[in-house]
Structure 1
Amino acid sequence: MTKIIQQSAQLPALSADEDIAGQLRAFVQDREAFSPNTWRQLLSVMRICHQWATENDRRFLPMAPEDLRDYLTFLQANGRASSTIATHASLISMLHRNAGLLPPNTSPAVFRAMKKINRMAVVSGERTGQAVPFCLSDLKALDVRWQNSAQLKEMRNLAFLHVAYSTLLRVSELARLRVSDITRAEDGRIILDVAWTKTIVQTGGLIKALSTLSSQRLTEWIQLAGLAAEPDAFLFCPVHRTNKALITTHRPLSTPALEDIFIQAWREAGQSRPKGNKNRYRGWSGHSARVGAAQDMAKQGYAVAQIMQEGTWKKPETLMRYIRNVDAHTGAMIDLMEKKSGQR
């Protein structure tokens, strides 16, 4: 392993030849080709896998198919979800490809191992986790409670929730929004110029328009926080305990800080605690607005293609996981049988 990989992943040196070392150096130099989250996940998987390989006297790079099969089985035995195990397999394959090596995932042994892991997970009752939806009705209820709040933090939180629901942006994408990204339509409504998203990385960016009410709430926050004259400032910034905004231009609010807005909203709404899913999702979280908005659109009969466009989803199956319960009673057989019943 190259020196820079060692520093990034905090792994000891590996006995790789110079060609592999050169490929890895180039890989690290081009790490901006990947999202920060993907890179963090890769380094985390490298640390976990390398530790397992060291403790079990296996080789980490290149990794033999039999070793990868045993590693994936080890993850399952230690309670990792099948989706997490699939991510480990995918990132190990990614590392091998970028090192100029044949990924061990191509082996039938690894394919069978993953098939077994997935089957055992489904049979044992594992289900894909889903954030508790934050719907339009929830937004309206919070709007009534917070719209005239004397607490600047609550005004910020309300504006943030309006933007999160209206745009279906991910938390990290919301964090990057700046005051300069705002323009106005002729009727005064706000238009947001989103530079890039997880799935859309192009110079044209993405344009998101806010409703009249959401534009009003965001405008109120900007005025109260003193952001109007700060075009380079992040749109959502910290609020000091003295009830003053701490305008920032270099570092956006962290993901935990933004997710805390959903937690505070959950408490304010006095929601009952839902049944936990995979020890998670016991209240609103960073993904809740995307899920709620998608479900609301599906309930109103918007086409899958329209919802995908709003949420910048590239694969229909990703969206269908969010709206599967909404569409449960609109299937072809339900339609057929209820029409037949009506004829009788």
Structure 2
Amino acid sequence: MQLDTQALRPDDLSELMRQGRLRGIRIEEDPRIQEAMSRFRQEFLDSQDAYSPRTVMQLRSMWGQFDEWCIANELQSCPAELETVKRYLSLRAEDKHRNTLAMDNWAIGKIHRESGCPDPTIDTSVKKLLKALTRKKIIADEGIKQASPLRECYLDELEHRWSRSPLLADKRDIAILMVAYESMLRVSELARIKLCHLKVNPDRSAVLLIPRTKTNHSGEPDVTVLSRQAMRLVQDYFELAERRFDTSLDEPLFIGITRYGKCANSREPLRYSTFDRLYHRAWEVLDLESAGIQPFTCHSTRVGAAQDLATAEFNALQIQQSGRWANESMVLRYCRGIMAEDGAMAKFRNRRR
């Protein structure tokens, strides 16, 4: 029977490979099969609009490192042998965080599935190895780094400095940080805000529609409110940038700035690297290094806002809803120190202090 490789889909090819291996046949060595694998991988690369740019970047990075390691060691990366994957994960575990190992495992499995190859990461031996490596790191007290919180007190100081500045970058950046703090948006979500997502209220606060978030792909937008202070900073930025503040426009709320300090002609959303530099600049301006505080990251406003809400005695569910987390686990991680003070034993022993 002649095999029609054009009619194959990734799951079909993966099953054929599994059946072939049971019979001692390596069909992936057939040029027609290799062509099908290349076709499937290209289809996947062409459909990456279904994923966030950051997810695509992480996938390319993690897979690229595995592929380069395989080439350097004269091993096949796709389809990879179980021992190849286990050896790679064990080597990475020597100096990489357990979260990085999980990303390695995810990238290897994803590329195999999309290429029509059996996924080696679902094998019991690989799962057990990853679990053992993770457990070993937990026992060794390997923590999960938390972004330095950008609290309201820091935001107030930045607002005092930058809102009065004649520089467009200062005006834009304080507006970004204020909107990021109040909306508790991730930077990928922040970059997607458009003017038409805003509805200004009579008191000059605004309702912000958030069409899509990490936890909401339903098509029904989430809604949050921006204060009058946040909207004043946004409009100050627009005025200095000589942009028209028209909430009927389908263009990004925040855009780039040229090397000459002028508003960019392009109406493209800001890139992750721009936000990354912005947060680091805020940390430098506040001179927090002298206080031993680690640099801000793009997650710092979410962490800071969550901690400020916890300090103001909002409960975990209320904070979870404000930050649009799928469950309370991230809230508890971000606010564990603050919430510990509200625990039963802390209250019981408070009189002993």
Tell me the TM-score normalized by structure 2. Answer: 0.81
Contact 2:235 2:245 in 1 (8 A): no
Change in 2 beyond 3 A, CA 1:104/1:132: same
Alignment of 1:310 with 2:322, yes or no, is yes
Amino acid at match of 1:338: R
Per-residue CA deviation, residues 244-282 of structure 1 (Å, 9 max, x unaligned), is 322431x22222222222222223223244657xxxxx2
Q: Which runs of 5+ in 2 are unaligned?
A: 1-5, 7-27
What is the aligned length? 321
For 2:56, the equivalent position in structure 1 comes to 39
Distance, in Å, in 1 between the alignment partners of 2:133 and 2:65 is: 19
Per-residue CA deviation, residues 210-253 of structure 1 (Å, 9 max, x unaligned), is 0121122112222222222563443222334655322431x222
Change in 2 beyond 3 A, CA 1:146/1:48: closer
- Identify the range of structure 1 (145-154 vs 164-173) with the bigger mean alpha-carbon deviation: 145-154
1:129 Cα deviation from its structure 2 partner: 1.0
**Which protein shows a greater Rg?**
2
1:100 Cα deviation from its structure 2 partner: 4.3
1:88 Cα deviation from its structure 2 partner: 0.8
Q: Percent identity?
A: 28
RMSD: 2.7
Amino acid at match of 1:208: T
1:299 to 311, 316, 340: 311
Contact 1:189 1:210 in 2 (8 A): yes
1:246 to 264, 271, 283: 264
For 1:181, the equivalent position in structure 2 comes to 197
Q: Give secondary structure in 2 for the equivalent of 1:196.
A: coil
Change in 2 beyond 3 A, CA 1:39/1:238: closer
1:237 to 255, 266, 275: 255
Contact 2:307 2:335 in 1 (8 A): yes
Distance, in Å, in 2 between the alignment partners of 1:36 and 1:212 is: 32
1:290 Cα deviation from its structure 2 partner: 0.8
For 1:6, the equivalent position in structure 2 comes to none
1:29 Cα deviation from its structure 2 partner: 4.1
For 2:349, the equivalent position in structure 1 comes to 338
Q: Give secondary structure in 2 for the equivalent of 1:325.
A: helix
Change in 2 beyond 3 A, CA 1:93/1:264: same
Alignment of 1:142 with 2:154, yes or no, is no
1:15 Cα deviation from its structure 2 partner: 4.0
Q: Which runs of 5+ in 1 are unaligned?
A: 3-13, 277-281
Change in 2 beyond 3 A, CA 1:96/1:243: closer
Distance, in Å, in 2 between the alignment partners of 1:275 and 1:134 is: 14
Per-residue CA deviation, residues 316-341 of structure 1 (Å, 9 max, x unaligned), is 32333222222223334434x428x6
Alignment of 1:197 with 2:197, yes or no, is no
For 1:124, the equivalent position in structure 2 comes to 140
Distance, in Å, in 2 between the alignment partners of 1:325 and 1:96 is: 41
Tell me the TM-score normalized by structure 1. Answer: 0.82
Contact 1:135 1:292 in 2 (8 A): yes
Change in 2 beyond 3 A, CA 1:99/1:332: farther
Distance, in Å, in 1 between the alignment partners of 2:332 and 2:83 is: 35
Counting only pairs closer than 5 Å after superposition, residues 252-263 of structure 1 correspond to structure 2 as 252-263=269-280
Distance, in Å, in 1 between the alignment partners of 2:82 and 2:276 is: 39
2:238 to 213, 222, 238: 222
Contact 1:179 1:228 in 2 (8 A): no
1:199 Cα deviation from its structure 2 partner: 2.6
Alignment of 1:271 with 2:272, yes or no, is no
1:23 Cα deviation from its structure 2 partner: 4.4
Change in 2 beyond 3 A, CA 1:272/1:50: closer
Contact 1:234 1:248 in 2 (8 A): no
